[in-house]
Amino acid sequence: MHYMARYLSPLGEIILTADEQGLTGLGFADKLPPAGAATAASPYLTAAARWLDAYFAGERPEERPRLHMLGTPFQLEVWRELLTIPYGQTITYGEIAARLAKRRGIPRFAAQAVGGAVGRNPVGIIVPCHRVMGAAGNLTGFGGGIERKAALLRLEGAWQADFHLPPEKKPKQKR
């Protein structure tokens, strides 16, 4: 059975999903397709809401709710690496790629492949993909939107003066 709950955060409504094995999803409602799971009680949803309460109160929640993330072996490897990024710190896609290459005993690994896996993280915030930066302090990609990524980094005290938001894309004019 699949479960769903809505969580009202300071950054907007969050949709939480779970199954019998753990938390399966966490994303901002305005960035997700309509939720189809039944709204029902689940200990994993309750644990995730408690975690988010502490996080948005500026605390450092230690115990994560149990996760049940489904993905390719490579995605799971990258998502496990995201879980090692300490609260209030950031890392680049390239640094994660270097860690994976070292672990696999190969000379290098493509940061773009890491970026693809990070971008498919189904449990944002708790699996802290917002702590991953592009080269030279570029805030790139976040399923909840770049402004929310910046807000999360500020909340954690991780924002640095050399971070910068990408320039806004101007809509193409019709001919």
- pLDDT at position 175, please? 53
Spatial neighbors of 70 by CB under 8 A, at least 6 apart, are 24, 122
129 counts as catalytic: yes
Q: Label the pairing between strands 12-19 and 3-9.
A: antiparallel
Catalytic residue chosen out of the listed positions 16, 85, 123, 129: 129
pLDDT (tens digit, 9 = 90+) per residue, 1-24?
889 999 999 999 999 999 999 999
Structural domains of the chain, ranges and CATH numbers in brackets: 3-56 (3.30.160), 73-155 (1.10.10.10)
- Of 13-17, 108-112, 116-120, 122-126, where does mean pLDDT reach its minimum? 108-112
**Residue 173 to residue 155: CA distance in whole angstroms:** 37
